[in-house]
């Protein structure tokens, strides 16, 4: 217990180092090595996708909520909302999971107010966006930004906000940053 603060400080420093390493690489398209350019030129058209753009998440907000059916058609799956990482990844996993859960709680609270006023929950995606998220309005809900491979979506059947993960984006970004061998 005496050295708990040192452990916590080391964990925070580790997370900051990981964030520093996982940020944008700073390479421009013209700086791609010749071997990579040659491999891309001979790759099949399906592999010639645009590079995944990461985004700032800390202290950033969004009002972008997808329709669940559209998100699922685009290859999304419901995100796992529990912490399963080990080691230094636990802190990032805990942050990502807690942000998603807190966002869902904020929306649930506003939906409870809506239900108390109207004796029902929003009937569809459009009403959810207009009356709960209130996109572009000063009193609208500002959801914390999720990582580049996750998005918020509205489930019209369950009438709730969910977090959707796009595994293909995550995999493509990993290949872009570690190479085809995953090293």
| pLDDT category of residue 19 using cuts at 50, 70 and 90 | low
Is residue 70 over pLDDT 60? Answer: yes
Top pLDDT among 56 and 71 is at 71
Q: For residue 65, is it within any domain?
A: yes
Top pLDDT among 97 and 76 is at 76
* Structural domain containing residue 149: 55-183
pLDDT digits (tens, 9 = 90+) for 111-161: 999 999 999 999 999 999 999 999 999 889 999 999 889 999 999 999 999
Q: For residue 22, is it within any domain?
A: no
Helices (H), 23-164: 34-42, 68-73, 89-118, 125-128
Between CA 62 and CA 107 the distance in angstroms is 13
| pTM of the predicted model as reported, rounded to 2 decimal places | 0.66
Strand partners, 65: 152
DSSP class per residue in 16-61: HHHHHHHS-----GGG--HHHHHHHHHS-GGG-PPPPP----TT-E
**Domain count along the chain:** 1
């Amino acid at each position: 217990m005496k050295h708990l603060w040192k452990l916590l400080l080391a964990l925070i420093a580790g997370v900051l180092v990981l964030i520093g390493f996982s940020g944008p690489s700073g390479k421009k398209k013209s700086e791609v090595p010749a071997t990579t350019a040659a491999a891309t030129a001979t790759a099949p058209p399906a592999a010639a996708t645009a590079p995944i753009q990461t985004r700032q998440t800390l202290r950033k907000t969004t009002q972008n909520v997808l329709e669940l059916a559209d998100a699922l058609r685009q290859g999304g799956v419901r995100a796992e909302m529990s912490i399963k990482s080990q080691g230094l990844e636990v802190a990032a996993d805990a942050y990502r999971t807690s942000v998603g859960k807190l966002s869902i709680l904020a929306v649930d609270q506003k939906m409870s107010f809506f239900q108390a006023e109207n004796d029902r929950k929003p009937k569809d995606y459009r009403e959810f966006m207009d009356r709960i998220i209130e996109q572009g309005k000063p009193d609208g809900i500002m959801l914390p930004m999720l990582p580049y491979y996750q998005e918020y979506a509205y489930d019209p059947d369950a009438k709730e906000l969910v977090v959707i993960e796009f595994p293909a984006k995550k995999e493509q970004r990993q290949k872009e940053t570690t190479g085809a061998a995953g090293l």
